[in-house]
Amino acid sequence: MNLVAAFRRIGHMVKKEFIQTLRAPQMRWLLFGPPLIQMLVFGYAATLDVKNVTLSVLDLDNTQESRELVARFSSSRYFHLNQYAARPADLREGLDRGDILMAMEIDSGFAQRLRNGQGADVEVLVDCSNSNTALVALGYLDQIGASFSRDYQIDRMQRTSPQLVSSLPQVDLEVRPWFNEGLESQWYFVPGVIGNVMLILVMMLTAFAVVREREIGTLEQIMVTPIRRWEFILGKTIPFFTVGCVDATLIALVGTFWFGVPFRGSVGVLIVGLIAFILAALGLGLFLSTVSKNQQQAMIASFFFTMPMITLSGFGTPIASMPLFLQRMSYANPLLHVMVILRGVYLKGSGLNVLWPEIAALAGIATLLLTISVLRFHKSLE
């Protein structure tokens, strides 16, 4: 009988939360519209690809060889030839103003040194204020420069000693990418965006749950009811859990069908992983709600947790590149575990036998946070 009464009280709490959350048309839009918009924006914007690197060239040699080298860069999809400079000062001014990322100076005598079989140097200045972009662009530059050098050597040997070309030893590396055959960074980022959007949505919604009751005065009414702490927390959790599941389904479908990210794993494993993650996000939001006195404090606290969690999730920065103490700290981050699950299910087709440690970690974090939230809640106004 007590259990039936408890379920009845929980049902009333759930009904109240749904009515309070969905009665305003603006709120219904905020629950489902922004996650889809964020998914589309972040899905296109979040990328490690570096394209259209602005390049300025000062060609003091102006020979067939120097023009061929410049053409290799201008015809590449990674570089955009911004201008031909007239003097060295133009290159430095372009870098100082931020108009270009790279400046190339080819000295006179470049072609003559190549024809004589000597090494020919080319000076390249790089704006390294964004070190990651600069490193990627330098990698592209090295590949194009090495390709030009190799082709020129082979062409020169064919003209001078064609019999040696066939016996020239070469090492060819045959690269076979796994899981992301086209090396599309979007395939890597879109599953991560799903986790980030879900964390922000669910945690922000639940962070206001208890403090909103206190500010609008309904907590006083709840105080005089026989509802228990765990019933109150459960009544707060179920509506936002349902909203989180609906939003997770919508943005996962957008990632699969709009962005074309391949889905190679099991739907069941993905559902279990997302449910565990949503519960962990709910637990964190409710915990923040119980320690905040008003909605402003809850909002600030949620921002305090959101940025470190995204940084320590491996979304854009490899965990292995971080200091050891941060690597260990990241294991307590539910966003890290759901990133592994999402990318494993989408790209690798990983099953429960591989992902069970991540799901178990999420279940443990969710249980801990929800338990702490229940224990911290008191039916009082303090």
Same domain (yes/no): 263, 369: yes
Same domain (yes/no): 199, 100: no
The answer as to whether 140 is a domain residue is yes
User: Rounded to 5 degrees, what are φ and ψ at 123?
Assistant: -90, 130
Of 115, 130, 165, the residue that ends a domain is 165
Same domain (yes/no): 117, 219: no
Q: What is the pLDDT of residues 150-193, one digit of tens each?
A: 888 777 777 776 666 666 677 777 878 888 887 788 888 888 88
Place of tokens 């009904």: 15
At residue 320, what is the residue type? A
* Residue 316: band (very low, low, confident or very high) from pLDDT cuts 50, 70, 90: confident
Place of tokens 């009464």: 5
| pLDDT at res. 344 | 92
| pLDDT at res. 214 | 73
Same domain (yes/no): 151, 189: no
The model's pTM: 0.80
- DSSP single-letter state for residue 61: S
Q: How many Å apart are CA 12 and CA 16, to the nearest integer?
A: 6
Q: How far is CA 129 from CA 31, 95, 161, 293, 340, in A?
A: 39, 11, 46, 42, 31
Q: What is the pLDDT of residues 368-381, one digit of tens each?
A: 998 888 787 765 44
| Count of structural domains, the chain | 2
Q: Characterize the bridge pairing of strands 102-106 and 123-126.
A: antiparallel
The answer as to whether 263 is a domain residue is yes
| Alpha helix (H) residue ranges in 208-294 | 209-216, 218-223, 229-253, 267-291
Q: What is the pLDDT of residues 37-66, one digit of tens each?
A: 888 888 887 777 778 888 899 888 888 888
What percent of the chain has a predicted confidence (pLDDT) above 70?
Answer: 93
Same domain (yes/no): 155, 206: no
Contact 288, 305 (CB under 8 A): yes
Same domain (yes/no): 94, 125: yes
Same domain (yes/no): 155, 243: no
| pLDDT at res. 280 | 93
**Other CB atoms closer than 10 Å to residue 42's CB: what's the count?**
18
| pLDDT at res. 219 | 66
| pLDDT at res. 345 | 93
Which domain CATH number covers 97?
A: 3.40.1710.10
Q: What is the pLDDT of residues 78-118, one digit of tens each?
A: 888 887 888 888 888 888 888 888 899 888 888 888 888 77
Structural domain of residue 284, as residue ranges?
A: 185-376
Q: Tell me which of 333 and 211 has the higher pLDDT.
A: 333
pLDDT over 80 at 31, yes or no: no
Same domain (yes/no): 193, 152: no
Q: What is the mean pLDDT of the chain?
A: 83
Contacts for 304 with CB less than 8 Å, ≥ 6 apart: none
Mean pLDDT for the stretch of residues 272-300: 87
* Residue 7: band (very low, low, confident or very high) from pLDDT cuts 50, 70, 90: confident
Q: Please measure the distance between the N-terminal and C-terminal CA atoms of the chain and give it in whole angstroms.
A: 33
Same domain (yes/no): 81, 227: no
